[in-house]
Amino acid sequence: MMNFIAPGIGPVLFNIRGEQVKKTPFTHPYGYDPFCIWRKDWRDTDNVVYSDRLIEWDTQKYFDSLEAASIKVISQATPEQIEKFLRIYFDNDTLTLTGIEEWCHHANGNTYYMYYYRN
């Protein structure tokens, strides 16, 4: 599975399961489906957490964890930084990041991330 640009068609994006995304940021900029931006050893049984839920559960812990992981802008963070951020947030040194998907909420147009991980 790999995102690519198809001649005459444009960008082709896939979700973490390898299925082609129908609504993309290029066709639906304010309401696109989840597409995979990073994946390593992902399994269908991995845990997943949505970025907005982390903020809702504990806003201060969210921002403290971002700072501790040296993340200034979440959309520009590396997978290594995201893994460190999640380890700090969940207080779990054995957490392993296995995938990241980006999506845009159809109702509000906000961009969110889905972090896949296992303990």
pLDDT tens digits along 28-79? 999 999 999 999 999 999 999 999 999 999 999 999 999 999 999 999 999 9
Domain boundaries, the chain: 36-118
- Please state the rounded mean pLDDT for residues 7-26: 85
Task: Give the type of residue at 18.
Answer: G
Q: Is the dihedral of CA 108, 89, 36, 44 positive or negative?
A: negative
Q: Which residue, among 20, 24, 36, has the nearest Cα to 116 in the 3D structure?
A: 36
Tokens for 88? 């700090």
